Structure 1
């Protein structure tokens, strides 16, 4: 039996991941603050990664075989002033604290969730893990905290735990951005930006949870792996989502720039090393 400590496991991903880990015979402890309940069957430590004293954090991690960090703080209103400050702190401050505690506690392996949205605009080119992170100053607020987070994990090499970074694509499924997209399509307020040819890379929460569970067991050391479903053109995606929810066809607005750069992400390495492929798919549960 593997002892797993899951940091930030009370959200949509945690509720998809914990049952999968329990079904495979692992013992799970969730470290998370706030009123949201931990998934059924997991032990709970009610504490924030940013506020728990270092010695207490090390104590929580004592005897931990695999530490999984999926801590995020996605704001209800992403456009509000300062909305992403807590999420940035979790990446820039929380992850280094966690790595230090894992080193002190003798944790065996660290699985760190990251994101593929930090890649630059690749046009039609496939983006694999060798693609450098975006250096556009206009996107620094998103990219730099992720760069700091991943560097903190890499520094664990040597005297710290082995590690795997899973760069997940934008989440699909209930409780994700698709909920807002559905509402906007039904309200007629989600046009297709540009000519719709920009690439989108997404992954269903359940499929990402499957990748995390596989990583807990296989533990490929020192690897960064993209976890994304097959990319889709923005126009095709938005039109299909509109049909699925019974919304009118969305208009094209060539004056708009896509929200994200064109990112046609390849997950070939995860297919090979983890035996992972998406099963639910980005359309699971949208109808």
Structure 2
């Protein structure tokens, strides 16, 4: 199968691209940068979804492609910077429309869209399936709005013509992810547990998420939105165990720190429909790829 992967030159791509090659697929990757990190066998296209001619060019590049993966994101290095999320927002809203338009023009038969579980409303201790409500509070609009726009555009694709699937991934952990920043802050004693830390957090190793992408591509899981996350843990337990893994100081509680929504995500549907099971875990000592 010829797979065209958009934006897979970063953390996900370092796992996904070699995995696809090992399984005998041909791979083309389009990204604006970091293409030099990819294996030599990969065809590289240096371009952005936000370029004026992107849809026309993509439609031509998609000709003869069997499947497309859209993993285009632009998470800012400084999330609190003014307009720091503007490019990521544009990629998820306008960029996704570019991809879906080109898919239909080129008559590509399979499509996997990367999404996130962080868009769910606070679920407390309840397990969150794919039917759980999204968080529509104004304070979360910067995150949730673009993801909702992205997923809505994908769902408009005719599933009988394009076997599309949306994979809502938990927070990525492993090398090159925010987990490395968390570990550094724990070593410095600079990452407190917000409040009582009873909220749930759902994460997934980037390599395990790549496994789910490959399964969705090969199975053609048409018209499905699936959660892809490892076993959820409480925030306090995660911080304490992460600190213990590095022999870092035990993190303190900060009653004034704002807690994020509680997301106890269920990935049972991915297990059933994709045969997916996380094997790399969320803890640094279990990383197999350093």
Q: TM-score range by the shorter chain?
A: over 0.9
- Measured in 2, the distance between the counterparts of 1:181 and 1:133 equals 26
2:270 maps to which residue? 270
1:164 corresponds to 2:131: no
Q: For this pair of structures, how many residues does the alignment match?
A: 285
1:46 corresponds to 2:49: no
- Measured in 2, the distance between the counterparts of 1:114 and 1:234 equals 22
CA contact (8 A) 1:112 1:164 kept: yes
CA contact (8 A) 1:12 1:205 kept: yes
CA contact (8 A) 1:173 1:286 kept: no
CA contact (8 A) 2:113 2:165 kept: yes
Stretch of structure 1 that moved more, 263-272 or 127-136: 127-136
- Measured in 1, the distance between the counterparts of 2:185 and 2:286 equals 14
1:193 corresponds to 2:176: no
1:244 maps to which residue? 245
1:25 maps to which residue? 24
C-alpha displacement at 1:206, in angstroms? 0.5
CA contact (8 A) 1:174 1:285 kept: no
CA contact (8 A) 2:3 2:28 kept: yes
| Alignment CA distance shift 1:160-1:73 (3 Å) | farther
> Aligned with 1:44: secondary structure?
strand
- Measured in 1, the distance between the counterparts of 2:54 and 2:13 equals 23
Which stretches in structure 1 are left out of the alignment for 5+ residues? none
| Alignment CA distance shift 1:54-1:13 (3 Å) | same
- Measured in 2, the distance between the counterparts of 1:34 and 1:232 equals 34
Which stretches in structure 2 are left out of the alignment for 5+ residues? none
Cα-to-partner distance string for 1:63-87 (whole Å, 9 max, x where unaligned): 1111000000111111111111100
TM-score under structure 1 length normalisation: 0.96
2:132 maps to which residue? 131
1:6 maps to which residue? 5
Cα-to-partner distance string for 1:5-55 (whole Å, 9 max, x where unaligned): 000011010011011111111100001112442520211011111114322
CA contact (8 A) 2:226 2:267 kept: yes
| Alignment CA distance shift 1:204-1:263 (3 Å) | same
CA contact (8 A) 1:103 1:159 kept: no
What's the C-alpha RMSD, in Å, of the aligned pairs? 1.4
